[in-house]
Structure 1
Amino acid sequence: MTVSPDRMLASLQNAVAELNLSLPPDRQISDDPDAVLYGEGSPLDSLGLVNFVMTAEQHIGDDTGADIVLASESAMSRKRSPYRSLRSLADYATEIAGQSSAA
């Protein structure tokens, strides 16, 4: 199954919207594709990232049919973290969705 990065990004933005419903205004996640998602300047701590990743995986599955795992040793060991921004995570999700469909 081929899923475009734009479709992945839309799924991630849906996940942001869902999580923001339960977060106080000063802890909300930006849906700007290039805003810092995790790291310095991000409203997410490590537990917040875990919650986001779980929500994102669910939205990606529901929206695209792709059953992917965003938190893996492969993701953690990359030189440039896929968790930097929504855009980088969408690109990573697209990449691994393509790998799983080729398997």
Structure 2
Amino acid sequence: MEIKEINIKNIVFKTLEEYIQENDLNLDKVDENTRLIGASSFLDSMDLVNFIVELEERVNDEFSSDLELTDEKAMSRRTSPFMNIQTLVSYIVESLNDE
């Protein structure tokens, strides 16, 4: 089954928006270029870990998969899949289509 980018993008945005609300984080605008790591990220390291766990659960439930976003494949990439929302979406689509 070919996983469509739009499906993953919707899941990522929904999960992130819920995470922001549940944790009272301040972020005016969320778009594909929203940084997830680095100095300009609105997430601290624990927020990132918690968001990733929630996202993995949602994606795995939705697609009956065993996606692990923090596996060796993700960590060994030249460009981190956690750079921004678009890189994360692209990585998830690629990973699910490789399963």
TM-score (norm 1): 0.83
Instruction: Give CA deviations for 1:19-41 in whole Å, capped at 9, x if unaligned.
Output: 11222243x48531111111121
Instruction: Give CA deviations for 1:38-83 in whole Å, capped at 9, x if unaligned.
Output: 1121111221111011111122233444431111111111110000
Q: Which amino acid aligns with 1:2?
A: E
SS in 2 for 1:21: helix
The answer as to 2:24 corresponding to 1:24 is yes
TM-score (norm 2): 0.86
The RMSD of aligned alpha carbons is 1.8
1:3 equivalent in structure 2: 3
Percent of paired sites with the same residue: 27
Q: CA deviation at 1:8?
A: 0.7
Change (3 A) 1:67 1:79: same
**Counterparts of 2:14 and 2:90 in 1: how far apart (Å)?**
16
Structure 1 runs, 4 residues or longer, greater than 3 Å off: 62-67
1:86 equivalent in structure 2: 85
Paired residues, what number? Answer: 99
